[in-house]
A and B are shown apart, each in its own frame.
Chain A
Amino acid sequence: MNYLIRGKIALVLKIIVVSLISAVLLMLTQSAFAQREYVIAGFLAICVLALALTYLTKISIPLKFFIPGILLLTAFVVGPILYTVAMSGFNYKTGNIISKEEAIVQIKVRGIEASPDGTAFDVKLGNSGTEPAILVSDITNLKYFISTEKTRTEVGAKEVTLTANGVAVAAPNFVALTDVQLSGADKSYSNYRFTYDGNYFIALEGIETGVVSRQILKYDAASDSFINLVDGSKYRDNGRGNYALSNDKAAILEPGWRAPIWFENYTKILTDPRVRGPLIRVFIWTVAFALLTVLTTFALGLLLALALNKPIRGRRIYRSILVLPYAMPSVMSILIWGGMFNTEFGAINTLFGTHIAWFSDPNFARLAVILVNLWLGFPYFYLISSGSLQAIPSELQEAAAIDGANPRQIFRKITLPLLLQILSPLLIASFAFNFNNFNLIYLLTGGGPRNELDGQIAGATDILISYTYKIAFGTGTQDLGLASAISLIIFLLVASISLYSLRKSKVLETFA
């Protein structure tokens, strides 16, 4: 094995591996650059440089150990965190997802009006020469023409090939799109304005109909505003990701773009009662849920550890059965429990002869969540409590017994305080874990039940993290900006809980 680490062979091997990885990364850098993903391309280039410098020179020995970890952490943890921080300062929600340039294009495309008489024609998509074109059939007047963005050319009725319905499908100087091309071209064609008459042009509606329309919203690049050509009103950039009328703030043009609104998402959390109200309710439940989970799982685990702390018969069998819930993949267990709480067919109602709508009643849903988490979590505390019980020196308990303490007193005054001291970091870690126990809530109740009437998306069992997930990715309005701001607040909460507990357990002091 030594020759792999030392000497010429090792050096050659190292150079080969580093060059191979660098070559792959360079290729990726190049294609990222070609796709104008400059940030990613820049990061990849830095990766190549860092790898080469670290492993082919003697610049720093610790870096040889750190570089792979640092690069991965930067790409998939630190990068996304910074992106989240950035997003929290933006008006980044449904209706304001795209960039300003894209928004301007879309407003232009949508800012048209059909002609007053509602003229529409059957059309066939294709190309005339190199230009995208449509072959238009005016069935009522038996007139046909080819229209591009620049020109309109009449075609005689004898020159076109008609279908049974009288729609022209082929004409000289016109090559229709094939079906395969059609599925790809649909989007770009709907952006074109095909020449018709004066101010009016033909805009596609679907792939077989062209509507005679005119532009009513015109973009004025000089003043960065849209002008309504009919009534002359002017929509200006309102600084919040939309073009709006100056005298009517609600009159905005769709779509908007993602615009920086700085701390508005944060102030919204603090001041807007529609955001603050549900958030406080969810926060209270999150804390209650995490506390109750830690208490119940610890209590049951400790009870078991005490009961089985003596080499009684069948202890090994008990132990193997008791850790089963912990050994099962939790995704499966949670989904199974979800089925067991079904009102009509669920095993829980069958077993107890009840007819409880577990997931429709807020309090029963909360009870179910706690119960399932108890099932999932007690084996962990059973295992670590029984381990810790054995770690407590028996002299202490024996000394107390000699002094005349009964078993109950010994437990309360000696064993439990010592146990809590040993286990407190784990209890706090368990609290922090359950504070963000997304899988359980998402897979078991989906955060529900939800009051359909108050229009809120927060359900009775939603914890902060599942609520935030709903804000960002839920059905209906998605608000990534607000969700990011809440994410960072959760991060601060969890980080301060953990730092406090670590400082208490003095782990941080060992860093020095």
Chain B
Amino acid sequence: MKNWLRQDLWRHVIGIAVCLFSLFPLYLVVISSFNANGSLQLTSFIPTEISIANYKLLFNNPTIPYLTWVKNSLIIASSVAVLSVMIGTASAFAFSRLKFKGRKFGIQLLLLVQMFPAILAISAVYVIMERVYNFAPAIGLGTRPGLLLVYLGGAMGVNIWLLKGFVDSIPAELDEAAKIDGASEVQTFWLIFVPLASPVLAVVALLSFIGTFNEFILARLFLVDMQNRTVAVGLQQFIGGQYSQNWGPFAAGSILASIPIVIIFLSLQKYIVSGLTAGSVKG
């Protein structure tokens, strides 16, 4: 036995075992997506026949607007990501760099507010948006802009908190220098701070994007109309029925929707991990 193998054998055993654990469900989804009979059974590890019927169904069946769902998810998630980071960064910057009365109180209030489990306020949000629908049908309950607004409000607390952690870690010397040179706060923010922080902001935007993409319950409550659904809600209906579970199209749709997210995630892994820890490890 080669020396490196003997020394590191236990490392490889653990590595391979856990890799199998993480791959198993994913492998199962992939073979189910190519299986025409629509089940999620493990009949054999190597598929006997490969069919692309499930993929065809997603694109050719007019009653399943899969592309529209994907488009809805992408539009909603990216709008939430961009807007919430823009608005959140401004607040985080002010908390971190500006001196004003009530700053400490504001931060503590924000901390408290973002701890309220969003799911629990769902009934209140529902009632409010139902009322908004009565006078402004374009942004009320059941519409994509309405859901976007709700997401945006909900993302605010966490994002300002997370972004504040980042902003604190960016050295203040540069914007202090700008201030000495006579720049106003607003100029410092736009001309010095935002360009400096843009890589970090991109990471938070990405986390926000993934979080919104994964949101299920609000999207399900809010978007009743088939054309308005997000991809998670749309696909869930294939398997939601107690007796009519059709895993084939669900598997195919999930894979297609996940691929871009997985690729983005893997390529930006390093930054995302630092982003996940920065908010809390700091201090």
Contact = CB atoms under 8 A, between A and B. Distances in A.
Q: Do A and B bind each other?
A: yes
A360 interface: no
Contacts of A60: 100
Interface of B: 4, 8, 10-12, 14-15, 18-19, 21-26, 28-29, 39-42, 87-88, 90-91, 93-94, 98, 100, 103-104, 107-108, 110-125, 127-128, 131-132, 134-136, 149-150, 152-154, 156-157, 160, 168, 184-187, 189-191, 210, 213-214, 216-217, 232, 235-236, 239, 245, 247, 250-251, 254, 257-258, 261-262, 265-266, 269, 273-274, 276-277, 280-283
B42 A83 contact: no
Interface stretch (A114-122, A156-164, A336-344): A336-344
A487 B154 CA distance: 17
* A-B residue pairs, 6 tightest by C-beta: A76-B153, A80-B124, A65-B94, A487-B120, A80-B121, A327-B265
Interface string A269-309: 00000000000000000000000000000001001100110
A336 B28 contact: yes
Contacts of A112: none
A300 B18 contact: yes
Contacts of B149: 72, 75-76
A320 B269 CA distance: 9
A417 B238 CA distance: 48
Nearest to B165: A507
Contact of A77 (B23, B116, B127, B132): B116
Interface in A63-116: 64-66, 68-70, 72-73, 75-81, 83-84, 87
Given A5-B186, A62-B94, A487-B117, 18 more contacts: A61-B98, A68-B90, A69-B87, A76-B125, A77-B114, A77-B156, A79-B128, A80-B121, A81-B121, A87-B124, A304-B14, A327-B262, A329-B210, A336-B29, A337-B25, A384-B277, A438-B117, A465-B119
A68 B110 CA distance: 14
Nearest to A333: B25
Interface in A461-512: 465, 468-469, 472-473, 480, 483-484, 487, 490-491, 494-495, 498-499, 502, 505-512
A13 interface: no
A442 to B, nearest CB: 7
Interface stretch (A131-139, A248-256, A422-430, A448-456): A422-430
A154 interface: no
A429 B280 contact: yes
A328 B258 contact: yes
Interface of A: 1-2, 5-6, 28, 31-32, 34-35, 37, 40, 60-62, 64-66, 68-70, 72-73, 75-81, 83-84, 87, 300, 303-304, 307-308, 310, 312-314, 318, 320-333, 335-340, 342, 345-347, 350-351, 375, 378-380, 383-384, 387, 422, 425-426, 429, 432, 436, 438-439, 442-443, 465, 468-469, 472-473, 480, 483-484, 487, 490-491, 494-495, 498-499, 502, 505-512
A79 B11 contact: no
B74 to A, nearest CB: 12
A69 B283 contact: no
Most buried by B among A1, A329, A511, A512: A329
A505 B22 contact: no
Contacts of A330: 214
Most buried by A among B19, B110, B152: B19
A5 B86 CA distance: 16
Contacts of B131: 35, 37, 40
Contacts of B245: 339
A511 B108 contact: yes
A323 B115 contact: no
A44 B233 CA distance: 31
A439 B23 contact: no
B123 A320 contact: no
26 contacts: A31-B136, A35-B134, A35-B135, A62-B94, A69-B90, A72-B149, A72-B152, A77-B118, A78-B113, A81-B121, A83-B127, A312-B4, A314-B15, A321-B19, A321-B22, A332-B258, A338-B239, A350-B41, A378-B18, A387-B273, A422-B281, A432-B115, A436-B119, A439-B214, A495-B116, A507-B280
Nearest to B118: A77
Given A65-B91, A336-B40, A340-B28, A75 B153 contact: yes
B87 to A, nearest CB: 5
Contacts of B189: 65
Contacts of A473: 122-123
Contacts of A304: 14-15, 18
B257 A80 contact: no
Contacts of A325: 22, 25-26
A507 B217 contact: no
A75 to B, nearest CB: 6
Contacts of A487: 117, 120-121
Contacts of A340: 25, 28, 40
A465 B118 CA distance: 10
Given A28-B136, A322-B22, A438 B119 contact: yes
Contacts of B112: 495
Contact of A339 (B22, B40, B135, B261): B40
A465 B282 contact: no
A321 B87 CA distance: 35
A331 B113 contact: no
A508 B112 CA distance: 12
Contact of A506 (B15, B42, B214, B283): B283
A64 B277 contact: no
A307 B269 contact: no
A209 B90 CA distance: 64
Nearest to A85: B124
Given A347-B28, A384-B276, A425-B280, A84 B123 contact: yes
Contact of B216 (A318, A331, A512): A331
Contacts of B115: 432, 491, 494-495, 498
Contacts of B15: 304, 307-308, 312, 314, 318, 322
A84 B124 contact: yes
B109 to A, nearest CB: 9
A333 B112 CA distance: 31
A258 B209 CA distance: 39
A2 B277 CA distance: 35
A322 B87 contact: no
Contacts of B251: 336
Nearest to A473: B123
Contacts of B257: 329, 332
Nearest to A319: B269
A495 B116 CA distance: 8
